[in-house]
A = this chain, B = another copy of it.
Amino acid sequence: MTVREAAAAKAAQRNLRRMDRRAVVHGMADALAAHAAGILAANEQDLRDAMDLDATMLDRLRLDRHRIDALLGSMRAIAEMQDPVDRVLEQRTLQNGLYLQRRSVPLGVIGMIYESRPDVTADAAAMCIRAGSAVLLKGGSEAIATNTAMVGAIREGLMRAGIGRDAGHLVQLVGRERLPAMLASSEIDLMVPRGSERLIALVRRRSRAPVLASGGGNCHIYVHEDADMAKAIRIIVNAKTQRPGVCNAVETVLVHQRVAREFLPLLQHELYELRGIVLRGCARCQRIITCEAAAAADWRTEYLAPILALRVIPSMAQAMRHIERYGTGHSEAIITEDKEAQDLFLRDVDAAVVYANASTRFTDGGQFGMGAELGISTQKVHCRGPIGLDALVSSKWEVHGDGQVRA
């Protein structure tokens, strides 16, 4: 990342404004499909070079025909989404005759900083181009061969779609040695880090551009005193076991004391006996079922693993206080048949997504009907929740006058 490279990205982005970006993104997908064999070969090389990665990391790094197909499907869906640019967001005519329109416009240059998963490379490139912006991609160095092959294919697709020489500027791969320059660049309009808490904290601290970050998900489900037990079991089993390693999986279940004696044995049967989930309970919990003891640290831990913390709680107010204290503002749920309790929980719990009687696993752009996403924002400004295409644009005020001056 030199000043010239970032400036070239911005210049290329201006020309993108005039293109049919739906067709451009389809062209990127076409080229990726045509180069699938080369991309898989590059991925093989990354996997051979990455012998010190653990199994989870290797799994995230690995591409196969099936994943390439999923990725192409995602790019085609992004191409077909409603254009987020050039939409009139507000309009009004003032008494002096001035006509105002606030219109969505591309951000300009978006920086993505992420770790091993090479599918992010294709998704991020497709989303940023669809939203009219250039993108600088700093992927993990363990995926360098895969990412280089993918970006090569994407650029070929851009060229064929009529972008010409700008292709190389619109989608740029940033090497590790250029990360400090990327963080210091004044040409980047939005920085999107995706990965570990450590990576996100580094980007927050060092980025000159504003940051849109996906924080961790220490998610809770609170089982209220009048909960439908069958629903509660079904939802908790889903939220814990459907995919334990992701940010919207549940980590702590809070159970109202009036139903603990009935509910906890059911939960133990479904989670521990049938599915092998490790349960860590508070002292009151341990008086009802046999489980490991939860320490204070458990309330703060995002396990991302087949472990669940359990706490018996004397009231809904206490449950909400627990969530306020230990939650990360990601996804929080209540199970209750009481409409008033639902409304109170949904209104007062401060998180990106709050649920009544549903699994926290729905926190996802695709599930929400927003299409692809770049992560789940847990910050409160610019975008909160799934980061879809609409979060990748800015707006401006256009004012049409006929000689008006201020009095």
* Residues of A that sit less than 8 Å from B by CB: 14, 17, 92, 94, 98, 100, 102, 105, 107-108, 189-190, 204, 208, 210-212, 228, 230-231, 234-235, 237-239, 242, 342, 346-348, 350-359, 361-363, 367-369, 379-382, 384-385, 394-406
What are the 4 A-B residue pairs with the smallest beta carbon separation, nearest first? A358-B401, A238-B405, A380-B394, A231-B403
- Taking a contact as CB atoms closer than 8 A, the residue among B230, B362, B396, B406 that contacts A404 in the complex is B362
A396 adjacent to B352 (CB under 8 Å): yes
A83 vs chain B, min Cβ distance (A): 14
Q: What is the copy number of this chain in the assembly? A: 2
CA A242 to CA B401, docked complex, whole Å: 18
CA A346 to CA B363, docked complex, whole Å: 38
A132 vs chain B, min Cβ distance (A): 12
CA A341 to CA B124, docked complex, whole Å: 34
A362 vs chain B, min Cβ distance (A): 6
CA A212 to CA B107, docked complex, whole Å: 16
CA A342 to CA B402, docked complex, whole Å: 12
- Taking a contact as CB atoms closer than 8 A, the residue among B347, B348, B398 that contacts A346 in the complex is B398
Across-interface contacts of A363 in B (CB, < 8 A): 397
A357 adjacent to B403 (CB under 8 Å): yes
Across-interface contacts of A204 in B (CB, < 8 A): 208
B402 adjacent to A357 (CB under 8 Å): yes
With A98-B362, A381-B381 given, is the CB distance from A356 to B400 under 8 Å?
A: yes
A379 adjacent to B17 (CB under 8 Å): no
CA A369 to CA B93, docked complex, whole Å: 9
Closest to A401 in B: B358
A406 adjacent to B356 (CB under 8 Å): no
A94 adjacent to B369 (CB under 8 Å): yes
**Interface SS of chain A:** mixed
Across-interface contacts of A401 in B (CB, < 8 A): 355-359
B238 adjacent to A380 (CB under 8 Å): no
CA A210 to CA B238, docked complex, whole Å: 35
Additional pairs, 7, CB under 8 Å, beyond known A92-B369, A353-B396, A359-B405: A100-B368, A102-B385, A212-B381, A352-B397, A356-B399, A368-B397, A381-B394
A380 adjacent to B190 (CB under 8 Å): yes
CA A355 to CA B401, docked complex, whole Å: 7
A279 vs chain B, min Cβ distance (A): 20
A402 vs chain B, min Cβ distance (A): 6
B189 adjacent to A403 (CB under 8 Å): no
With A361-B406, A406-B359 given, is the CB distance from A395 to B384 under 8 Å?
A: yes
